Amino acid sequence: MRLYSENYSPFSAPVRIAIYAKGLDIEIVAPPGGLRSAEYHRINPLGTIPCLMLDDGARLPESSAIMEYLEERFPSPALLPQAPEARAQVRLLQRIGELHITTQTVELGRLTDSVARDEPGMDRLTKIVRGLATLQNILSGDDYAAGHELTLADCQLAPALFRVPRAVGAYMNRDLIAAYPRVARYVETSRRHPAVARVLDEMGTASV
Ligand SMILES: N[C@@H](CCC(=O)N[C@@H](CS)C(=O)NCC(=O)O)C(=O)O
C-alpha cells in the first residue's frame, strides 16, 4: 500500500500517526507532479491528500475513511476502544478536531489579511474557540484524549491543536490554547507518544 501525503498537511498527519502507531509497512510518498498536477488528479480525482492506494490499485481518499479502513484491516494495536459509548466518544473527539479545529485553521490560512480580520475570519476564529471550549469539557484529563491509551481521537487532535497558535497568531495577540488548561495539558501529554512526536516534528519542519 502507498499513502500520498505531505509533511505539512494537517489532514494527512492523522493518517501518518495511525500508520506509525500501528507499525504498518505502508510507503509514504508526495503526490507525483505536486498536489495540483494532472498526474496526481489521475490518481485521485478529488485532488486532495491524503489518499491511500490499496494493494489492488483502488484509491481511498478522505482521511477519516482511510483511518477507519486501517483500523479494520489492522486492528492491533487498537486505536478504537471496545465499548460502543467509548467508541462514540473517540469519534466525537475526532469530528471536533477535524471540523472545528483543522478545517478552520486551514481556511483561516487561506484568507488574506484584510478578509481574515473581517467577518469570514471572525467566523473561523469563533469556530476554533467553540471547539477548544468543547475540548476543555470533554477531554479525558488523562494523557490521551479519551483515556490512558492512544486512539484515533489523538491522531486527529494532536496535529489539529499543533496548528492553532500559528493559525490564530496573525489575528489575535494571545495564547488561545493557554486559556483552556485541560487542552494545554493535553497538547503536552499527547506528544509523549512517539508516533505523535514524530508527526508533529514532520509538520514543524515542513516548508509550507
Ligand atoms: N476532507 C479531506 C480534506 C483533505 C484536504 O483538503 N487536504 C488538503 C491538503 S492539507 C488538500 O489536498 N488540498 C488541495 C486542494 O484543496 O486543492 C480529508 O480529510 O482528507
DSSP per-residue string spanning 96-154: IIIIIIIHHHHHHHHS-HHHHTSHHHHHHHHHHHHHHHHHHHHS-SSSBTTBSS--HHH
- CB of 14 sitting under 6 A from ligand 1: no
Give the closest residue (by CA) to ligand 1 atom 6: 48
CA distance 162 to 157: 8
Mean pLDDT, range 82-97, rounded to an integer: 98
pLDDT digits 0-9 by tens, 90-105: 999 999 999 999 999 9
- All structural domains of the chain with their residue ranges: 2-73, 84-205
Give the closest residue (by CA) to ligand 1 atom 15: 48
Q: Determine the pLDDT at residue 27.
A: 98
What is the CATH T-level fold of the domain 84-205, as seen in this structure? Glutathione S-transferase Yfyf (Class Pi); Chain A, domain 2 (1.20.1050)
What is the CATH T-level fold of the domain 2-73, as seen in this structure? Glutaredoxin (3.40.30)
Q: Determine the pLDDT at residue 113.
A: 65
